[in-house]
Structure formats: C-alpha cells, structure tokens
A and B are shown apart, each in its own frame.
Chain A
C-alpha cells in the first residue's frame, strides 16, 4: 500500500513536469502546425539563467529565469520562425532543429561543456514524513505548480479575448485572420506562454537535479514530443494527459521491472508508447480541426 501511494505521488509529480513540457510544445504546434524542437533549449536557457543569477535571492532567480526564457521564446519567433511562416512544414521543423543545435553549441562555447551546479534553497530539497511515507517537498510543489499553471492556462484560453482568439487560430488560422485576429499577436502570445511553461519546467528540473548542462533540454523535449503526439497532436488536454501517461509508465516500470532491467526502463517506456500508437494511431484525444493546410 505504501509503495502504491509513494508511486502515486511520484507519478503526479513527474506527470506535472511532463505535462508542462508537453503543453509548451502543443501550444505552439496548435497554431503554427510544427513541432518546435528548440523548446528544449528554452529549458537550457532557463537553467543557465538560474546559474548566472545564483547570487541573487531565490525569488529574483525565478523572476530572472522566467523573464529570460519568455524573451528567448519571443526572440525565437521573431528571428527564426516568423521569416519562414507559411513555408513548407519540413522547413520549419528543420529550422527548429538548427536553432536547437545552434543554442546547444553556443552554450558549450560560452559556458563550457561541463555541468554547472546551482544550490537552490534547501526548503525545496527537504523531505517530510507522513504516516511512514517520505515525501519530498519539491514533489508537492511540482504538483501544485503544475495544477496552478494548467488551471490558469485553461481559464485564460476559455475566458480571455486573446485566449478565444488563440483557440480560433488553432482551429482555423486563416479564418481567424479573416475576422481580424492579428496573426503576429496570437503567435507571439503562444510563444510567450510556451516560454513561461518552459521556465517553470526548467526551475523544477534544476531543483530536482541541481545541475545544468548544454544538453539539459534534450530528453525533456523528446518527452514533450512523445506526450504531445500521444495525446493527439493539437489537443492541449491530450498533451497534458500524454505527459501523465508517460510518467505513469515510467514510474510503474521503475517499480515493477526486475532490478537488472531497470537501467533499461526508458526502452520499456517508449516500447509501451509504440504499443499505444499501434492501438490508437490517432492519439488519445482526436482533434477534428487538424487537417492539411492548403
């Protein structure tokens, strides 16, 4: 029983992180119809901004991180993606790869390939015990942050004028423009929000591991990518769900796999993903609005 609860906490905590990652990718995909593989480098930029601001009080570190990542995301859009808007989707995809490699190598050149470490307040890393369960405060914080961010995002998309415009653009971008929705505003907003989500994920990630490397965003972006597709490309709730499914697979396999197989856990996780795709090739949640843009 204790293992089950412990695992449940792990699933929720890891799932929140994965959901934040996936939502960042899905939000941009919804409107631009391409997967931004440079999303991982937003995490990396967030990580290094925490490192560079390490002398500041913790609150300021967080603010610096959020501001840096959101600005970087906006810069991505303005410099790399706006000039190729409307180009062949493959062109956009390759551009995001190029951007990703460029930033990783830039980080390696300027900050070095070796891991940097940041000491975050011990409050985050402490554990407490309830009824024999050892719970890390960071796990609770991750879940709370995930829930708050997802609820706010949902509220924003549902209620605000800009949110409704974003949903309309995700469904039919051309028609949205034909009622007067400003393409640049909507796209920049999507990137800014995806930056905010990436910054939050970066903070959690750095708090978990304590280290920052140029390749920090590599694994997270693959997870975000798989979760987004598994959720059914274009569906935000699907992307979040995909994140939780991945975390469920990951934590469960970690517990159930025999000891000597555990190092290969990820092979089993992604193997299960392949199985899911065989059973539901269209993803967990099917979005009707996804069609080829002519």
Chain B
C-alpha cells in the first residue's frame, strides 16, 4: 500500500476503488460478524465462492465478507447488491441457488427466504423488511458494503474524505465548532456534549495531549461498539484523527477489551494500512499534521470503561478509578490532557465533518441529536443491531423495528443502560429514547443495550442478575460499592427465596441511596439503578414474592413447584427418563408423579414432555 502524498492521491485512490467496484456486475455480501460466523457464515462464503467458480462467473460475481449487518436473528445473513436481495439463515448447500437468484433473478429458495413473522408474507428485498425499514442507518449504512480488511471499500464510500477536508480546508477551531454545532453527545452513555469535552482538552495546558477510544464495551447484551470496530474500523480511526487535529493531540489509543479478539485484529490491521497510506503517522496527506494510534487491550474488567480506571489500566496499574477532579481533560493519561470518547462517538465524527453539523442534527429530539445504535436483544421477534434517530419511542423500537413479542407472549419491560440503567415497564413505552426522557423514568440511555423482557421474565430475578454482575465487577476500592452491592444482593436473594419482608424493601432503598450517592465512580453511582427502578415500576412483583410467596413469572426456584397433570399425562415415561433426580415415578401408560421433596426444579421434565402435562407454577 503506497503512501498518499496529498489529497489528490487520496482522490485518485478513491476513484480506483469505485471503478473496481463498478467492474463487478454482481456482489454478494456475506455477513461475517460473530453472530453469523457462529452460525456458519465462513462455510457459506466458501460455498458461494465455489458456486461462482462452478458456474464460471468469477469475472462478474464477487463474494464479499463483511462486518455485522445487524439482523442477527436471521444469521447467517447474505445480501446481493443492486436491489438488495435478502437471504436469511443461508446454508452452504443453498449456495448455488443463492448465486442463481442474485445473478439471474431466480426466486429466492424457500429455506432462505425471509417471511414476515406476523403475516408470513414473503419479503425479498432487505429494505422492505420491517426490521430495516424503520431504522435510520447512518453509521451502519455501509455495513454490508465494507470488508473491514479492504480499505478500498471504505474509500469507495467516501472514507477519509472528512479527514482530508478537515486537514486542508478547516482550522482545528472550525472542526471543533462544527462538532459543537452538531450537538453530538457521548454515546458511551452519560451524554456529555462531545464538542464541549473536546474544547476542555484543547484549552488545557500541556505539551503532549492524547485522545482515547473507549472500546471497553461491557454491558451484558451490548455489542454496538464491537460491531463498529469489527465491521468498519477505518471510520473510528478517521474520527480519532480528526479529533486529534481539533484537540491538538498527536497520539491516540484505542482501548479495546481483550474479549473482542476480532475487533482487536481488524482495528490493528486497519491502523497498519492507514499508517502505510500516510493517513496516520507523520505529515498526514502532506498537511504537516501528525497523528498516530496504538491499541491497548483491556484485561477484562467492566470498571475499566470508567475513564479514570481506563487511564490507570493503560498506564499499567490496576484498573481502579480515582476521584475527579482532576478530570482527564486536565490531567489524564500519564498526567497529560486526555480526551476519551466512546467508539460510536468517534465513528460519528467523519459523518459530521463530511455532511455538516446541520445534517447531523436535523434528526433527533430536543437536546439529543443524531442517531443511536442499540443492540436489541431478549424476548423480542427481531434481535440484532438497530440504528434509529435518538428520541424514537420505545414502542417504535420494540414493536416496529423489533417486531414485538414472541408468539403467545406479552412484553412487560425493557432494560436500557445495562447494569447502570433501569427497567422501563411496557406502560411507559411511549417514552422517547433520549438522554433526558429516560432519566425521567429512572433509567439511562447507556451505551445502547436494550434487553426486552416478557411475561416469563421475573423482575426480581433480573435485578439479582445485575447485582451479581456488579458484585463481581466492583473493583472494591470504595466502601459503598464493594460492601453495599453484595448486601443488596443478599436482600434480593432473601426475597427471591420467599423469606423477604416489607422491611427488606426499605433496606434496599436505603442501601441503594447510599451506593448511588456516596460511591466513588460511575459504576457504583449507577449500580443501584436496576434495583431501585424495578422496585419503582414493579413493586407488585416484589410484593408477590414477599407476601404471597409466589413468583408471578415462575422463575425463582424456591417459589415454584412442578407437578404432573394426571389428565394430560399419557405415561410415556419421557419425563422420568429426563429427570436427573429420578424423582418421577409411575407405571408405563399411567399418569406419573413428581416427588416434590426430591425435585430440584431443573425443568428437564417440562422440556421433555410432549403433552403439556408438566405444570410449573
């Protein structure tokens, strides 16, 4: 990869990339994000390449592997360019038929055809699928167009044009002003205005400044940042270089959690290529501006997403936070002024510089502008990555994009903001998903995890889950978080086992207030949110556990029993054979009985029964 001496070289390289793309008559993109990869996308891609070769179409059909397209529910996902034919659950044996459909317009084989989950109507084109149709894709617009290992793919969609524009046509102050005008706010969750953050660092005195990309995404169920880094690492690199220019930083660090090996690899390869091309390093594009990037991998601690702990971790110390001030903008990495932004925040920067602040902020709600990527997971029809305008209502996200509940279920709540956020009951789904509105209902925007829960989810159990997570992730430095979170968990365990009392609710409130009010860092200060918000919105479920000794969702094992409905039992013995306790007895072809004394409530009998005779309540 030869070095680009200036913007003319960059434009020439872009033209080359576009011409190469136009030469291929048909492009079939195979999503190779971890979800699709786990479902066999590598084998599908190999089979597609073989099918193309067998049909003698190597010259005109190109098979491209890309980062995550977002519709993980349909893994492995394959899309043919042009109209955007969509193939769900692709398998190697369907490869020839997929190539036929893409090239010759043959109908999509039934086994890989997407059907509307409610109406069963077939949908051939990606853009017509409700999951995609209701999104506003800006950051993910080119998810299916970019092979993360091919910089040409990024150049072909105007990659690095924003960096070139910033360096040649704008002063650092003008770049900063543009970002301020856009009203972009930190996508890591707290929503601090990005431009203002940059300005604080720019104004701070220091011979050396740093910019850092926080890719320590740790919320359970959240994978937006991972998908961006894996699928389009150059967009993050470009954003950071622009940030370095505006702030006056010549060095940048991507702090990526070690549990994301593909993100680490793709980012490292992209940095290497960008350096070879002269888009990183000394004298970028002949403008005299120098900026270089390194990757530091995290050592597996949720708290390292907190800015001061992240800095300590990069410096080689244990990942523990320290009180602020001084803020990183004043005294950050190695004591120098440092600006830390989340992956998605950085990825928005090239778009803002390329299209302008006005374009960016034309969508959104009140003080929250632009789009936000969410990972929509849990008990909903369409799971995956969704990018929507900030301020869309939860109803729209869950029911229109997400397709609503699974068959026969009802959705009861959504957890936003992961272990730092709160659960929002379905009765409040009119709430807009923006920083201020979510705070009003006791939750937070967070980094973008949206976990949907239905009537089979027990709120007490979910609160316990988050507290268990936080207990194991607390660094232990400050008393309220280290000691308070495990005590809250003890109280919840008591409630879940049917031994709770009304005093326990008060105790949770008191502990929660102190953990929230007195903890040192953001992890502790938000740790009580899942519990406090679930008590606020689902007090009746707590009361059922406490007063009626009943778990309405039939989840908390201490409060449920399994028995067999003699009317329905056919005596097939399937349950007795599945039972690990061997506590189900009965003659063949006669109703069986579960011995409640020995039953460990594992649910194996329920899964084994084909006649709905096993009852859990």
Decide whether A and B are members of one complex.
Answer: no
